[in-house]
A and B are shown apart, each in its own frame.
Chain A
Amino acid sequence: MNVLDRFSDTELAAAVLKDISGLANRMSSRTVRLMEVCGTHTFAIMRSGIPGLLPSNIRLVSGPGCPVCVTPPGLIDLAAEISLREDTTLVTFGDMMRVPGTRRSLESAKAKGANVHVVYSPADLIPLAQNAPDKRIVFFAVGFETTTPSISWTLIRAGESGLKNLFIIPANKLIPPALDLLASDKNTNVHGFICPGHVSVIIGSAAYRPIANKYAIPCAVAGFEPLDVLLAIRMLLLQLVEERAEVEIEYSRVVTERGNERACEIIDEVFEPADSVWRGLGIMPRSGLKLRPKYQHMDALLSHHSCENPALDLIGSGNSSEAQTGTFSDDSMPSGCACGEVLKGIKIPTECAMFGTRCTPDNPIGPCIISSEGTCAAYYKYGPNPYGKP
């Protein structure tokens, strides 16, 4: 039997669910709201039908851990504008293709003739740039700490090999500042965090300790198989019952307290923290990354500054040196779109009037319905609970 098969084993799951039920009974007078921060967890949870298996006083709410969803629409417009330049190939992760900006998505720009190329790994940028020396290769660098090391590594390599035509639109973000904001926001009313597994492989579980301490909120770092999530829920409930607020690691097969120090060094070599706009959440201090001076010549937004493009005029405006380039006011949500509240766990997708009616994956209005890690997409795909509570 494959090791991972054990993490969706029917009998083991039943045993953990029984424990969860016992712990929930001991808190039967209250509703416990646990937030899975990461979009991949939201998908794992919905895909395996976990909400329907939990006691009625245990609710899972989804957080902002979908890098595509929190990228400001103005920045998507900008990437689309850049992709329409003849001398440029805009390179992106597949997730980004269909997410709407305010004017268009990368997919619609491609249909208009833009050069948009999908990669699976940032390492593919180097041969792309080498093989097209007369083209500007611009990578839309979105993602959390999971993807940032490979982007950093690529930029270091590009610098070493003297590549002059590789640029990025820096839109990488950091998870701990977002957790801090959510924990401090009374409206979110979260009693425990299921912390992202793959981000934690890089930054280590210790990164959440300040949040657990400051807000007395239990944290559990979880893997992505169904039993990983159930075990993390059990950890959090036990902490709540015992009135502890610690950071525990369920995903111990890959996550340590200290994380991957080499990966963190690589990030630190290329990037430094900067204020960053999160779609729906607003600007958060030191929640994003900007290129350090040594790498600033690879910032596509700085190097495209001179081109005749009204969208680019926004780059400079209101931009302090503390902020990511491309930080400008347009982080608006389309009218009526509840993605902002969904990203904070205040609303669930079915509470949005447009969910599944005006806003569907085929006709996305907000980002959460179309991203492969978006909360609305998970609800739409897998259903909040096809049969209702058992």
Chain B
Amino acid sequence: MANLEHESILLAHGGGGSLTRLLIEGTFVKTFSNRILNELGDSAVIESPGRQLAFTTDSYVVKPLFFKGGDIGKLAVCGTVNDLAMAGARPLYISLSLIIEEGFLVKRLHAIMDSIKVAASEANVIVVTGDTKVVERGAADELFINTSGIGALSDGISLGAKQVRVGDTILLNGSLAEHGISVLSQRGEYGFEANIASDVAPLAGMVQSILAVAPNIHFMRDLTRGGLAAALNELAVSAGIAIEVDEQSIPIRKEVLAACNMLGLDPLHVANEGKCIVVCAEDCDEKVLEAMRRHEYGKDAVRIGRIIEHKKSIVIGRTPIGGKRIIDMPSGRLLPRIC
């Protein structure tokens, strides 16, 4: 991909002229080449993939752009693919829009596009349309990405908070807080280093395996910003139920826990990018758990709690010493504390 003679992105790359064309054809079409994208029409024209579609969009502004375990490109694919997967949909198409700060190094752009290619291929989606804007130095922080995605739902799949019932089991596909701590440690702001990789991963494959054995699961949610605590609290409120979680059952890797303790962060509040909860009826939880564990991104899957009867829509944690406490909704930005 040595077709771009410039080392860094110029405002002209977004100007709509010959440099824009060069960027689109030399980089994007070359990297993501497929029949629909290659048309380069004003819109991608796609086959209607099924009776019910899932459609989602998300923007990615992570800093640093490259972190252990991934980069903004992989994140931009996985985040959107996972949102489709959580609706029970099979992801098919994504769009890719870039806002690039003037002066951004072309070779870094290429590295990120390559990473998008790999992630999209793993997630079985194709990039069918896109957009590029270049803004003046200082008007954006290096690179922002927006992706939208379309997925198809199989007949009979109906997931949502309204399906959740008292007695349902809550399953989690693996250990928590790795993305948040990885990124935080690599910002270098707090003089704290840790060799922790982000968990960023596309979950659509695992979800399809779950739906194959148990199409009647009730609810799924990926645990991004706000972590497990936010996802559980949102579920409790939107389903009008309460949740009890056995804290000891929640897997957290030792080094992640140590970093959280040091920074005074609750691992249940920290972001993940490859984790989700699955809520299903108690009588099929073993089957779902097995399906999850057979998959690479669910091999550490566990039961963490259940839906309970309670007058308030709250999340209650059973602590290791047998106590009970509220698992709260995170508030504000996570900041390390004094001691």
Interface residues of A (CB under 8 A from B): 2, 8-10, 13-14, 17, 40, 46-50, 52-53, 67-68, 93-95, 97-98, 118-121, 123-124, 142-144, 146-147, 198, 226-227, 230, 360-362, 372-373, 380-383, 385-387
Query: Assuming A120-B263, A386-B316, is B339 touching A40 (CB within 8 A)?
Result: yes
The residues of A that contact B138 with a CB separation of less than 8 Å are none
**Do residues B338 and A226 form an inter-chain contact, with CB atoms below 8 A?**
no
The residues of B that contact A230 with a CB separation of less than 8 Å are 321
Q: Given the complex of chains A and B, what is the CA–CA distance between A124 and B188 in angstroms? A: 11
Q: Given the complex of chains A and B, what is the CA–CA distance between A144 and B248 in angstroms? A: 33
Q: Given the complex of chains A and B, what is the CA–CA distance between A373 and B337 in angstroms? A: 9
**Do residues B331 and A372 form an inter-chain contact, with CB atoms below 8 A?**
no
Name which residue of chain A comes closest to B332, CB basis. A98
B46 adjacent to chain A (CB < 8 Å): no
B189 adjacent to chain A (CB < 8 Å): yes
**Do residues B320 and A8 form an inter-chain contact, with CB atoms below 8 A?**
yes
**Do residues B338 and A93 form an inter-chain contact, with CB atoms below 8 A?**
yes
Q: Given the complex of chains A and B, what is the CA–CA distance between A36 and B219 in angstroms? A: 42
Q: Which of B211-268 contact A (CB under 8 A)?
A: 248, 254, 263-264
Q: List 26 A-B contacts (CB under 8 A).
A: A8-B319, A8-B320, A8-B321, A9-B321, A10-B321, A10-B322, A14-B322, A17-B321, A47-B319, A48-B319, A48-B320, A48-B321, A94-B336, A98-B332, A118-B189, A120-B192, A120-B263, A124-B190, A143-B338, A143-B339, A362-B331, A372-B264, A373-B337, A373-B338, A380-B328, A381-B326
Q: Tell me the total A-B contact number using a CB cutoff of 8 A.
A: 114
Q: Which of B281-339 contact A (CB under 8 A)?
A: 314, 316-317, 319-326, 328, 331-332, 335-339
- 15 more CB-based (< 8 A) A-B contacts, given A48-B325, A68-B338, A146-B338: A13-B320, A17-B322, A48-B320, A48-B321, A53-B321, A53-B323, A94-B338, A98-B332, A120-B190, A120-B191, A120-B263, A146-B339, A373-B338, A383-B326, A386-B324
The residues of B that contact A143 with a CB separation of less than 8 Å are 338-339
Name which residue of chain B comes closest to A66, CB basis. B338
Q: Whole-angstrom distance from the CB of A230 to the nearest CB of chain B?
A: 7
Q: Given the complex of chains A and B, what is the CA–CA distance between A117 and B248 in angstroms? A: 36
Q: Given the complex of chains A and B, what is the CA–CA distance between A382 and B328 in angstroms? A: 7
The residues of A that contact B317 with a CB separation of less than 8 Å are 49
Name which residue of chain A comes closest to B327, CB basis. A382
**Do residues A94 and B324 form an inter-chain contact, with CB atoms below 8 A?**
no
Name which residue of chain A comes closest to B318, CB basis. A49
Q: Which of B171-224 contact A (CB under 8 A)?
A: 189-192
Of A10, A121, A360, A372, the residue contacting B320 (CB under 8 A) is A10
Name which residue of chain B comes closest to A229, CB basis. B321
Q: Whole-angstrom distance from the CB of B327 to the nearest CB of chain A?
A: 8
Q: Given the complex of chains A and B, what is the CA–CA distance between A121 and B316 in angstroms? A: 34
Q: Given the complex of chains A and B, what is the CA–CA distance between A382 and B338 in angstroms? A: 20
Of A40, A67, A362, A386, the residue contacting B314 (CB under 8 A) is A386
**Do residues A382 and B325 form an inter-chain contact, with CB atoms below 8 A?**
yes
Q: Given the complex of chains A and B, what is the CA–CA distance between A26 and B192 in angstroms? A: 49
The residues of B that contact A385 with a CB separation of less than 8 Å are 324
Name which residue of chain A comes closest to B229, CB basis. A381
**Do residues B328 and A386 form an inter-chain contact, with CB atoms below 8 A?**
no
Q: Given the complex of chains A and B, what is the CA–CA distance between A390 and B326 in angstroms? A: 15
Name which residue of chain A comes closest to B316, CB basis. A386
**Do residues B332 and A94 form an inter-chain contact, with CB atoms below 8 A?**
no
Interface residues of B (CB under 8 A from A): 189-192, 248, 254, 263-264, 314, 316-317, 319-326, 328, 331-332, 335-339
**Do residues B338 and A53 form an inter-chain contact, with CB atoms below 8 A?**
no
Q: Whole-angstrom distance from the CB of B206 to the nearest CB of chain A?
A: 29
The residues of B that contact A362 with a CB separation of less than 8 Å are 331-332
The residues of B that contact A124 with a CB separation of less than 8 Å are 190-191
Q: Given the complex of chains A and B, what is the CA–CA distance between A202 and B197 in angstroms? A: 35
Q: Given the complex of chains A and B, what is the CA–CA distance between A123 and B190 in angstroms? A: 10
The residues of B that contact A142 with a CB separation of less than 8 Å are 338
Q: Given the complex of chains A and B, what is the CA–CA distance between A48 and B324 in angstroms? A: 7
The residues of B that contact A119 with a CB separation of less than 8 Å are 189-191
The residues of B that contact A373 with a CB separation of less than 8 Å are 337-338
The residues of A that contact B339 with a CB separation of less than 8 Å are 40, 143-144, 146-147, 198
Of A146, A198, A226, A382, the residue contacting B326 (CB under 8 A) is A382
**Do residues A147 and B338 form an inter-chain contact, with CB atoms below 8 A?**
yes
Query: Assuming A14-B322, A49-B321, A383-B326, is B191 touching A94 (CB within 8 A)?
Result: no
The residues of A that contact B332 with a CB separation of less than 8 Å are 98, 361-362
**Do residues B191 and A123 form an inter-chain contact, with CB atoms below 8 A?**
yes
Q: Given the complex of chains A and B, what is the CA–CA distance between A8 and B317 in angstroms? A: 14
**Do residues B337 and A94 form an inter-chain contact, with CB atoms below 8 A?**
yes
Nearest 4 A-B pairs (CB), nearest first? A49-B323, A94-B335, A383-B326, A13-B321
Q: Given the complex of chains A and B, what is the CA–CA distance between A98 and B248 in angstroms? A: 32
Query: Assuming A2-B254, A124-B191, A143-B339, is B263 touching A387 (CB within 8 A)?
Result: no
Of B314, B321, B331, the residue contacting A361 (CB under 8 A) is B331
Q: Whole-angstrom distance from the CB of B311 to the nearest CB of chain A?
A: 11
Of A52, A67, A93, A372, the residue contacting B323 (CB under 8 A) is A52
Q: Whole-angstrom distance from the CB of A121 to the nearest CB of chain B?
A: 6
